[in-house]
Amino acid sequence: MENRIQSFFEKSLEENQIDNELYKKYSVKKGLRNEDGTGVLVGLTKISDVVGYKKVDGEKFDDYGSLYYRGINVKDIIEAQRQEKRYLFEEVCFLILFGYLPNEQEFKEFKQILSDNYELPPHYLEGNILGFPAKNLMNKLQQEVLMLYSYDDNPDNTETRETLEKGINLLAKIPSIVCYTYQTKVHYFDEQSLFIHHVNQDYSIAETILSLLRDDGNFSEKEAEILDISLVLHADHGGGNNSTFTNVVISSTGTDIYSAVAGAIGSLKGPRHGGANLAVKKQMELAINEISTQASDEQIRTIIQRILDKDFNDKSGLIYGIGHAVYTLSDPRSEILAAKCKELAMEKNRLEEFEFYTRFAMVAIDEIYTRKGIRVCTNVDFYSGLVYDMLDIPSDLYTLLFVAARTVGWIAHNIENKLYSNRIIRPATKYVGGIDEYENIEDR
């Protein structure tokens, strides 16, 4: 069968090739991208704004990046944590979902609602997670989200308030599902001891993740703070990113929130989107193994040249963690995470490794500019893998933590689209094939 399918496939390539020039002829935007790499506008939003360049008289200029949640700069949100200890991710969740910062009483009530929804349904853990281990945790998480549909008394109610309530329930439960599916996986497939802790309702979501992942359930205040900030930085990134758009496209058909979130998780699994932080980690491990963290900048440049020449790492020619579709001079998320990563590296005695990452990024940015004449920057994925590694978070969970953070953005855009657009998303494609009469086709 395999050989026959291969021959069919090879013939299909000859018969159905689409000339690249046709995209320009019909002004079709590949990947919904404009010629300058910016995204084609597909909607309006008040949830978040991704600013990476400025326009003067219609001409685009590189600029330092900014990310806004409901009009508030994410840098200002992070800075607020310096003033006092607070559950920052939960506060950002409220901001993203409701459009304003909560007062003390509103936040207390919202945190209680989240805490009340931490617990999984009775016997869910034993019946659906422990009893059905899986090697691929992203696929397993999709299954678990769809399984929660069965525990909902009215899962197909897609009214906005119902969607909000169901979304908050998912936001609260996904962190524990992520941790429990991982513990089950390493127990059954890696033959490690199984540690299952009950959730502590007094904990933040960041604290919950750390406590459920660790055998002893312990973590430091610095570790919780940095994971909390990482979740904040991943909470949303506009309505055009692939997983958020996927969620809105699916939801626009009128289907349930569980199907929409499961589809978004499938999107986030890809290495060009949520899986990029894991790709960065593998790339950097290979580089360090090849030249060590004490390598000179010239040795680093040689590795980077080999990557760009498709002679190192996965031979894709891509330097993972460098470059972004919108940000040009800087990704504000990367800048914030880099600063926190350095703090953690000093605490964990891994400063030399962090400095290698920094030098690698500087040389890569310079080499790309030398070759292509374009300005790029590190993106959020460049440092997030190193942060997670220093937090003793297994690499299997890197993309799943992205899900735990981004769920709030998916829910918010889902609701916003229901409220203000509420039309099925149905773009068009241009047919560029020939026309044949069926009865005249010979040699069938």
Active site residues: 324, 381
307 close to 313: Cβ distance less than 8 angstroms: yes
Token representation of residue 361? 């990024």
| C-alpha to C-alpha distances, 209 to 200, 251, 322, nearest whole angstrom | 10, 28, 28
Numbers of helices and strands, H then E, in the chain: 18, 3
Token representation of residue 237? 């990134």
Residue spans of beta strands (DSSP E) within 110-243: none
Please give the order of strands across the beta sheet that includes 59-69: 48-56, 59-69, 72-73
Pairwise CA distance, residues 149 & 138, whole Å: 18
Residue 281 CB: number of other CB atoms within 10 A?
Answer: 20
**CA nearest neighbour of 164 among 359, 418, 355:** 418
92 close to 206: Cβ distance less than 8 angstroms: no
Nearest-5° Cα angle at 415, 409 to 418: 140
Helices (H), 220-375: 221-233, 242-251, 257-268, 276-291, 297-308, 332-348, 351-372
Helix (H) or strand (E) holding 52: strand 48-56
Query: Would you give the distance in Å from CA 203 to the centre of its chain?
Result: 24
End-to-end Cα separation, the chain, in angstroms:
20
| C-alpha to C-alpha distances, 322 to 60, 306, 318, nearest whole angstrom | 21, 15, 9
Question: The tokens 């769920």 sit on which residue?
Answer: 407
Bridge partners, 426 (sequence order): none
Alpha carbons within 13 angstroms on the beta-carbon side of residue 52 total 22
**CA nearest neighbour of 384 among 336, 350, 421, 351:** 336
